[in-house]
Chains A and B, each alone.
Chain A
Amino acid sequence: MSHSAQPSALKMGIPIPNSKLGMWLFLGTEIMFFTAFIGSYIVLRLGSHGWPSNPADTHINVFLGGVNTFVLIVSSYLVVLAHEAMVSRDFSRARRFLTGTLGLAFLFLGIKAVEYAGKFSHDILPGHIAETPLQAMRKVDRELERVVRRRFAVYSDYRMIDVTQRDDISTVANQIAAFGAGAELPKGASDSRAEVLRPQAAKDVELFRQYSRLHEHLVADVSLSMPASGPEYGAARAALKPGESFPPLTLSEVEEFLELLRKDETWGGAVSSGVFQPHVMLYGNLFASIYFLITGFHAIHVVVGMILFAVVLLQRDRLDEKWSDFVENSGLYWHFVDLVWIFVFPLLYIIH
């Protein structure tokens, strides 16, 4: 039997180009990828009663989210027009539409950057958010210690003090106090620099004392109106009747304390920039994790789409009908990115 006598091979498979089939299979995996995030978010939110929904707490900007939705819709429209132009062999028109899409993608990321900056400036970051008043007070304590250490570092960096144990903040404070009182400078220290730093040393030590006071009251869980250390604390404790205890430290006290520190001329600015306004947000860390996870991965997809369009645009005059499938598949990808945002926008921005 000859081979030619055999029946011709059946035409099998899905009646679309392989590249398009590949793109749709990829989009299938992408659907599962984003549904995992969005679905988990919905489930977590349903299970977390008291989920932060006030824009004043979360710093979610509905207006910017809405503008970004509009930007993506316009870009999707331009991609469709670009593909139509490719099919009708009007390649320069297709390039114009793709340039517009690329520009809108940049705009989308720019707006997202503004939103992210708002989150960073309010410390709405995973793991940074106090979920109880106690956590908020501890956060103030930590941040204030960081401010003190940063101010103290100036003295050791300029060798005004001879620090052997930088971690021991009380010893460093004592050395700075001595330096401020006119103690002899270590070898190699600049006299002119010492003249500048010496007048503010006492104030920086005073900031350390304020921090120590807060820290002691926080550790002892005693109101700032009561002593929390030293002989006064011992005497007050001895005077307590059986069953009595000191009033505990409250967040509003810490807020007032912080407000006073911020008013100081010498270190008010450093405290303002270094210590965030205490803010309690239950499930705030979960919210921040989900917000950055979903919007972050979406932004990465936007960047990938931009690369795809840039590849087409780099062809310039060489763009021809051979690129039609590429533009169509890139368009499919871009519409999917738009599709994800269509659900992210109401879920993260609108439903409070």
Chain B
Amino acid sequence: MVAVRGVSKWFGAHQVLKDVSLDVAAGEVVAVIGPSGSGKTTLLRCVNLLEDFQQGEIRVDGEAVGYAGAGAARRRLPERVIARTRSQVGMVFQSFNLFPHMTVLKNVMVAPVRVKKMPEAEARASAVRLLERVGLADKLDAYPARLSGGQQQRVAIARALAMQPKVILLDEITSALDPELVGEVLAVIRQLARDGMTMMIVTHEMQFAREVAQKVVFMDGGAMIEQGPPRALFADPRTERLQTFLKRFREGYQL
């Protein structure tokens, strides 16, 4: 579903992604872990071209994201085409980014109606269904400012799902939440995984990554260091960098 091939990205002279390749099969959940500044969020943002990248290729369901041609002939696709690709890739952010001037229902409906040109009644019915699914059927007319972080994040998930995306990108979606609210958000993601949604998850929740992902990718310094099934990767890290990272992580937990 998602194929990342040799992607490199520079911020000025500083290389933030180094020849990253990675596959996400349909229905698969891939977790990307690594220390802060390892480029995992940047990689995620490249998949729907919220960030440009200078080398390599990303395909979503066979369609090239953002660029056509290679080498000197490589050019950025027109904004209209990029927007179409983005409309098929859902994204949930660390800071929720709900539209503060719209009710919960409107937040979920607005893109299907205005981008996909879905009839209003149909979009409303689908939005209500999705909000029921994330347990917020009683908040349809509330404004985001009235909701807790966990509730806001669940609305954000419903908003992403409303576009019926082929894949959903989750960018540290529990990092901004109070510890007691993390569970309700992860429960929604767990259910999505069971329903066969293709997901790419950047997370600091190792336990969650281990439980929900079929594949875990470890990044450090902008490069993909190691990837594999979670059980093997966590139990038997082959590289020293992953060993150090996991060790530091476990120590952090014991404090």
Decide if A and B are genuine partners: no
Residue numbers of A with Cβ under 8 A of B are none
Interface set of B (CB-CB < 8 Å, partner A): none
